[in-house]
Amino acid sequence: MSALYGIKYHRVRKSKELFIPSGPFPPNIEIHTMRRRTTRLFITIVLACNIVACTGLQTTESANQNSRVSIIVIHHTTANFGDSLNILTRPSQYPVSSHYLIPEPGDQTYGKSALRVYQLVDESRRAWHAGTSYWAGKSGLNDQSIGIELVNRTWCHASEHGVDPYTGGPDRLCFYPDFADGQVALLTDLLDEILKRHPDVKPTHIIGHSDIAPDRKIDPGPRFPWQRLASLGYGAWYDDATVIRYWERFRTEPLPLINVQKALSAYGYKIDATGEYDEQTRNVVRAFQLHFRPWEVTREINREMTATLFALLDKYYPEQLEELLTVEEPLDPIAPIETEQVDETRRPPATTPEMTQ
């Protein structure tokens, strides 16, 4: 266990079994051991100095650099701590990992009284957590992101009779537990330390797996406290007064669908401005609702959702507003599509029963 960065956490490394002979030991064994270690250290230092001297390597730090980390992605595991740790650290046919893992209280597989953050991959290395992903013009986000997994045992019941109208598979009813206060406290402390090391991460770049892979992921789910995190300074959230202003404006000046698609793209989502209410649009709308309107996850665009989207753009990307609010063609204004209303939070997470990138 380490207390670096002011956070108690465990580093999980591959370890070798050590052979320790049984006693009694000679009284000077510790002294001999220390002498050997000191000798080895001295030899190592001398060799290192000789190598540097021979190569003529000089270090002069440039001011023209920054961190390669620009995105933080938050996930939930759906599995308990023990299974999650195994999946995230052991070789498998479909390897997956994350930089950090945060357990939840009451998990019998955790076995400790106090919650601690587990570091599984060093921040300087790529963890395999994002998979096929995109955000704000960048793809393949494993290269430029830090992944944080929180244990949250979502589970689903599959119906033997109903059919999911979107997938054609069995209809499912899913349950999403709240994230424990202790987990959230550890997460905020961890985010605070990460942002000190990687100050280029913007509030709009602290996002969920569903934001960067809306066609296949829904974690960290509708119960994740995005608004609470933003109020503490971690991540993006809108101002209510700005939402009201756009909500009233769009009552008399409704926007065509293509403008909403362009606005979602401007915020960061991968979506093409087709002007059609296609599957990619439904998936991105669901991801947006999971993050910013979790009480209304329907994959349908309405005035409330559009006002929320433009309130975020007004706050974080105001330079893009004029273009996004310009109506180029007199297309049909936004209106809920006449389909069966389906609560999208019932759909099973793609990470059940095993986590995938």
- 6-38 CB burial, b ≥16 within 10 A, e <16: ebebeeeeeeeeeeeeeeeeeeeeeeeeeeeee
Q: Among the options 104, 123, 149, 323, which is catalytic?
A: 149
SS (H, E, C) 102-131: ECCCCCCCCCCCCCCEEECCCCCCCCCCCC
Phi-psi region of 342 (alpha: psi -120 to 50; beta: other; left: phi over 0): beta
Tokens 């740790």 — which residue? 85
Question: Which tokens belong to 166?
Answer: 């979107």
**Three-state SS at 24:** coil
Q: Using an 8 Å Cβ cutoff, are 107 and 99 in contact?
A: no
Residue 354 known to be catalytic: no
Closest Cα partner for 284 from 205, 202, 210? 210
Task: Tell me the catalytic residues.
Answer: 149
